[in-house]
Amino acid sequence: MIRGGGHGSALRSVLKNVAQFIIVLATTLLGLAAVTFFIGRVVPIDPVIAIVGDRAPPQVYERVRMELGLDRPLIEQFAIYLKKAVTGDFGNSVLTTNPVLTDIASAFPATLELATLGTLIGVIIGVPLGVLAAVKRGSFIDQFVRVLGLAGYSIPIFWLGLMGLLIFYAKLGWVAGPGRIDVTYSYLYTPVTNIVLLDTAMQGQWDAFWDAFSHIILPACLLGYFSLAYISRMTRSFMLNELAQEYVIAARVKGLSEMRVIWRHALRNAAVPLITVIALSYANLLEGSVLTETVFAWPGLGQYITNSLQNADMNAVLGGTLVIGAVFVLLNLVSDLLYRLLDPRTR
């Protein structure tokens, strides 16, 4: 958390905060890069095989090993990587042959789209449910939220995804199947942001938009359900904590309506820790839910990194990890800012 200077000028405080943020970001990324890089070099997988395959003759194997710089000392390899990374060159992915940045620019938006929709669903349903469960503690609704949450924690997402497809896609036909958009529509728009819903809407391709929407809604609901399970449980416990505070009793004694007491006073205070919970849950989804992405053939970041890792495609793994690191730091910053907005004590 960032403490304000209090008496210093506002500008100085802002500058200090910005500097602090940049330092945090830089250290996090450097640390991540170092750890990922060295782990990547000690895993018992030969990255040369990932490129040349198993059958390549020895001279081809040796040449590629040299090209990758694998014959140099580790520290030197890392220095070379960093030097290039600073200029924005994260190398090429072995598996897709594209520059890693290009790949991430296409995989990350896919995950972002899904995670954002999932988190929205989780918050819009999860927060009110958690509040209700806290207010009506021990009632039917409380039990219901408890069971819902428990199921969300314990049912494998993989299974739930397949069941969802079986029921809503195969049997009922309410939603579209795995994939981001039907091939018929996929050439109707030009990818700009690579967020399909946004691209199609901005280009007025409404048929394509609805098709994309019918593809995303099921996996988004699934991720939404999992963040809902977590968010509603946490909301409930924060709310119970607040409802037991003296200021709530005071507000009730003042004769404020129960609605006002709960939603205006208690939730406002519970919101502060809740922001962190939501940000964390969002960040988790942004890492890319590998299993969901696999079941729904969603070309997102989770699948990209997992697939790269399994093939010792270390440039791709490093690039992906750095993006996730940056996302965590950014979300941390956003939740810090929101804290200060909601809680005057932190200003």
Q: Which is nearer to another protein, 153 or 159 (CB)?
A: 159
265-271 own/partner pairs: CB under 8 Å, 24+ apart? 266/239, 266/242, 267/131, 267/239, 267/242, 268/342, 269/242, 269/245, 270/235, 270/238, 270/239, 270/241, 270/242, 271/342
Distances (CA, A) of 266 to 163, 237, 250, 262: 38, 12, 12, 5
What lies within 8 Å, CB to CB, of 257 at 6+ separation is none
- Cα 253 to the chain's mean position, in Å? 43
Smallest distance, another protein to C-beta of residue 203, A: 17
216/176 Cα distance (integer angstroms): 8
Smallest distance, another protein to C-beta of residue 150, A: 25
Contact 213, 170 (CB under 8 A): no
Smallest distance, another protein to C-beta of residue 51, A: 7
Smallest distance, another protein to C-beta of residue 49, A: 6
Q: Phi, psi at residue 180, to the nearest 5°?
A: -95, -30
Count CB neighbours of 270 within 10 A.
Answer: 25
Smallest distance, another protein to C-beta of residue 344, A: 39
Q: Which is nearer to another protein, 203 or 294 (CB)?
A: 294
Q: Which is nearer to another protein, 79 or 163 (CB)?
A: 163
| Tokens found for residue 340 | 């200060």
**Binding footprint of another protein on the chain (CB under 8 A):** 43-46, 49-60, 63, 93-98, 103, 106, 162, 165-166, 169-170, 172-179, 182-184, 186, 207, 210-211, 214, 217, 294-297, 299, 303-304, 307, 310-312
Q: Which is nearer to another protein, 104 or 251 (CB)?
A: 104
Q: Which is nearer to another protein, 206 or 247 (CB)?
A: 206
Contact 262, 270 (CB under 8 A): no
Q: Which is nearer to another protein, 211 or 336 (CB)?
A: 211
The candidate with the shortest Cα–Cα distance to 285, out of 122, 103, 101, is 122
Smallest distance, another protein to C-beta of residue 155, A: 16
Looking from the CA of 69 toward its CB, the CA atoms found within 13 Å total 13
Q: Which is nearer to another protein, 168 or 263 (CB)?
A: 168
The single-letter DSSP state of residue 92 is B
Q: Phi, psi at residue 53, to the nearest 5°?
A: 80, 180
Smallest distance, another protein to C-beta of residue 89, A: 15
Smallest distance, another protein to C-beta of residue 172, A: 7
Give, in degrees to the nearest 5, the angle at Cα 300 between 296 and 301.
Answer: 140
Q: Which is nearer to another protein, 188 or 333 (CB)?
A: 188
